[in-house]
Structure 1
Amino acid sequence: MLTFEEIVEKAKNFSKVPSKEDFLEFYGYYKQATAGDCDTEEPEDEEKKARWNAWKSKSGQTAEDAKAHYIEVYKKYAAKYE
Protein backbone atom coordinates (compact mmCIF):
# COMPACT_ATOMS: atom_id res chain seq x y z
CA MET A 1 0.00 0.00 0.00
CA LEU A 2 1.28 3.44 -0.94
CA THR A 3 1.90 6.12 1.68
CA PHE A 4 0.22 9.52 1.71
CA GLU A 5 3.44 11.11 0.45
CA GLU A 6 3.67 8.63 -2.44
CA ILE A 7 0.03 9.27 -3.37
CA VAL A 8 0.67 13.05 -3.33
CA GLU A 9 3.57 12.57 -5.77
CA LYS A 10 1.41 10.43 -8.04
CA ALA A 11 -1.34 13.08 -8.00
CA LYS A 12 1.20 15.82 -8.82
CA ASN A 13 2.23 13.80 -11.87
CA PHE A 14 -1.20 13.18 -13.39
CA SER A 15 -0.97 13.30 -17.18
CA LYS A 16 -4.15 15.42 -17.33
CA VAL A 17 -4.83 18.54 -15.26
CA PRO A 18 -7.70 17.99 -12.81
CA SER A 19 -10.74 20.23 -13.11
CA LYS A 20 -10.84 23.16 -10.70
CA GLU A 21 -13.48 21.42 -8.58
CA ASP A 22 -11.48 18.18 -8.38
CA PHE A 23 -8.25 20.06 -7.66
CA LEU A 24 -9.91 21.90 -4.76
CA GLU A 25 -11.01 18.60 -3.26
CA PHE A 26 -7.39 17.40 -3.29
CA TYR A 27 -6.13 20.77 -2.06
CA GLY A 28 -8.40 21.00 0.97
CA TYR A 29 -7.43 17.58 2.27
CA TYR A 30 -3.74 18.13 1.47
CA LYS A 31 -3.60 21.40 3.41
CA GLN A 32 -5.50 19.93 6.35
CA ALA A 33 -3.18 16.90 6.39
CA THR A 34 0.02 18.93 6.19
CA ALA A 35 -0.80 22.23 7.92
CA GLY A 36 -3.76 21.51 10.21
CA ASP A 37 -6.75 23.80 10.63
CA CYS A 38 -6.85 26.90 8.46
CA ASP A 39 -5.84 29.88 10.59
CA THR A 40 -5.38 32.54 7.93
CA GLU A 41 -7.70 35.38 6.99
CA GLU A 42 -10.02 34.90 4.04
CA PRO A 43 -8.28 36.32 0.96
CA GLU A 44 -9.85 38.80 -1.47
CA ASP A 45 -8.58 37.12 -4.66
CA GLU A 46 -11.22 34.72 -6.03
CA GLU A 47 -8.81 31.87 -6.86
CA LYS A 48 -7.09 32.12 -3.49
CA LYS A 49 -10.49 32.33 -1.79
CA ALA A 50 -11.58 29.08 -3.47
CA ARG A 51 -8.46 27.35 -2.13
CA TRP A 52 -8.98 28.91 1.30
CA ASN A 53 -12.61 27.69 1.38
CA ALA A 54 -11.55 24.17 0.34
CA TRP A 55 -9.07 24.06 3.20
CA LYS A 56 -11.34 25.79 5.75
CA SER A 57 -14.10 23.26 5.02
CA LYS A 58 -11.84 20.48 6.33
CA SER A 59 -11.15 22.17 9.69
CA GLY A 60 -11.40 19.90 12.70
CA GLN A 61 -10.13 16.81 10.92
CA THR A 62 -6.99 15.19 12.26
CA ALA A 63 -3.98 14.95 9.97
CA GLU A 64 -4.48 11.19 9.77
CA ASP A 65 -8.15 11.54 8.79
CA ALA A 66 -7.29 14.17 6.16
CA LYS A 67 -4.56 11.91 4.74
CA ALA A 68 -7.00 9.01 4.54
CA HIS A 69 -9.56 11.20 2.77
CA TYR A 70 -6.90 12.48 0.35
CA ILE A 71 -6.04 8.89 -0.56
CA GLU A 72 -9.73 8.14 -1.15
CA VAL A 73 -10.01 11.22 -3.39
CA TYR A 74 -6.96 9.99 -5.31
CA LYS A 75 -8.57 6.58 -5.81
CA LYS A 76 -11.76 8.26 -7.01
CA TYR A 77 -9.99 10.37 -9.67
CA ALA A 78 -6.85 8.38 -10.60
CA ALA A 79 -8.36 6.70 -13.65
CA LYS A 80 -9.74 10.03 -14.88
CA TYR A 81 -6.41 11.91 -14.76
CA GLU A 82 -3.59 9.36 -15.12
Structure 2
Amino acid sequence: MSLQEEFKNAAERSKTDISERPSNEELLKLYALYKQGDEGDVKGERPGGFDFKAIAKYNAWEELKGKSSEDAMKEYIDLVNKLAN
Protein backbone atom coordinates (compact mmCIF):
# COMPACT_ATOMS: atom_id res chain seq x y z
CA MET A 1 0.00 0.00 0.00
CA SER A 2 1.40 3.40 -0.95
CA LEU A 3 1.88 6.19 1.58
CA GLN A 4 -0.96 8.12 -0.09
CA GLU A 5 -3.30 5.13 0.29
CA GLU A 6 -2.27 4.61 3.94
CA PHE A 7 -2.90 8.32 4.58
CA LYS A 8 -6.40 8.22 3.08
CA ASN A 9 -7.11 5.00 4.97
CA ALA A 10 -5.99 6.62 8.24
CA ALA A 11 -8.25 9.61 7.53
CA GLU A 12 -11.23 7.26 7.18
CA ARG A 13 -10.21 5.30 10.28
CA SER A 14 -9.96 8.52 12.29
CA LYS A 15 -13.74 8.89 11.89
CA THR A 16 -14.61 5.35 12.97
CA ASP A 17 -11.81 3.67 14.94
CA ILE A 18 -11.10 6.25 17.64
CA SER A 19 -13.44 5.36 20.48
CA GLU A 20 -12.57 8.11 22.97
CA ARG A 21 -12.70 11.76 21.98
CA PRO A 22 -9.11 12.98 21.60
CA SER A 23 -7.96 15.99 23.61
CA ASN A 24 -8.16 19.40 21.97
CA GLU A 25 -4.39 19.31 21.52
CA GLU A 26 -4.60 15.93 19.76
CA LEU A 27 -7.48 17.14 17.58
CA LEU A 28 -5.46 20.19 16.51
CA LYS A 29 -2.46 17.98 15.77
CA LEU A 30 -4.63 15.63 13.68
CA TYR A 31 -6.05 18.59 11.78
CA ALA A 32 -2.67 20.23 11.16
CA LEU A 33 -0.94 17.01 10.10
CA TYR A 34 -3.81 16.15 7.77
CA LYS A 35 -3.79 19.59 6.14
CA GLN A 36 0.02 19.60 5.81
CA GLY A 37 -0.01 16.11 4.31
CA ASP A 38 -2.89 16.86 1.96
CA GLU A 39 -2.25 20.48 0.94
CA GLY A 40 1.28 21.40 2.06
CA ASP A 41 2.12 24.67 3.77
CA VAL A 42 -0.66 26.85 5.16
CA LYS A 43 -2.30 29.23 2.69
CA GLY A 44 -4.35 32.37 3.13
CA GLU A 45 -4.46 34.84 5.93
CA ARG A 46 -4.83 34.05 9.61
CA PRO A 47 -8.47 34.38 10.69
CA GLY A 48 -9.22 37.38 12.84
CA GLY A 49 -11.87 38.45 15.26
CA PHE A 50 -13.35 36.07 17.76
CA ASP A 51 -13.30 32.84 15.76
CA PHE A 52 -10.94 31.20 18.23
CA LYS A 53 -11.42 27.71 16.79
CA ALA A 54 -10.41 28.82 13.29
CA ILE A 55 -7.44 30.75 14.70
CA ALA A 56 -6.25 27.71 16.68
CA LYS A 57 -6.55 25.46 13.62
CA TYR A 58 -4.66 27.97 11.45
CA ASN A 59 -1.91 28.36 14.07
CA ALA A 60 -1.52 24.58 14.45
CA TRP A 61 -1.18 24.16 10.69
CA GLU A 62 1.19 27.13 10.41
CA GLU A 63 3.52 25.54 13.00
CA LEU A 64 4.14 22.72 10.51
CA LYS A 65 5.29 25.09 7.76
CA GLY A 66 8.22 23.56 5.91
CA LYS A 67 7.45 19.96 6.95
CA SER A 68 7.26 17.72 3.90
CA SER A 69 3.90 16.25 2.95
CA GLU A 70 5.40 12.77 3.27
CA ASP A 71 6.58 13.39 6.84
CA ALA A 72 3.22 14.89 7.78
CA MET A 73 1.41 11.89 6.30
CA LYS A 74 3.59 9.46 8.27
CA GLU A 75 3.05 11.37 11.52
CA TYR A 76 -0.70 11.54 10.86
CA ILE A 77 -0.88 7.77 10.26
CA ASP A 78 1.14 7.13 13.46
CA LEU A 79 -1.11 9.43 15.50
CA VAL A 80 -4.32 7.82 14.20
CA ASN A 81 -2.88 4.38 14.98
CA LYS A 82 -1.96 5.52 18.50
CA LEU A 83 -5.40 7.04 19.17
CA ALA A 84 -7.25 4.04 17.71
CA ASN A 85 -5.63 1.61 20.17
Q: Which interval holds the TM-score relative to the shorter structure?
A: 0.7 to 0.9
Mind listing any 5+ residue stretches in structure 2 that lack a counterpart?
Answer: none
Give the aligned CA root-mean-square deviation in angstroms. Answer: 1.6
Measure, in 1, the Cα distance between the counterparts of 2:82 and 2:20: 15
TM-score of the superposition, structure 2-length normalised? Answer: 0.82
Measure, in 1, the Cα distance between the counterparts of 2:12 and 2:20: 14
1:21-68 residue CA offsets vs partner (Å, 9 max, x unmatched): 111010110000111100211112110011001111111111111100
Corresponding residue to 1:72 among 56, 78, 81: 78
Give the superposition deviation at 1:16.
Answer: 3.1
User: Contact (CA 8 Å) 2:37, 2:69: kept in 1 or not?
Assistant: yes
Aligned-pair identity (%) = 38
Corresponding residue to 2:9 among 6, 9, 22: 6
Count matched residues: 79
User: 1:28 maps to what in 2?
Assistant: 32
User: Contact (CA 8 Å) 2:28, 2:56: kept in 1 or not?
Assistant: yes
Alignment of 1:39-78 (within 5 A): 39-44=43-48, 45-78=51-84
Measure, in 2, the Cα distance between the counterparts of 1:49 and 1:73: 22
TM-score of the superposition, structure 1-length normalised? Answer: 0.85
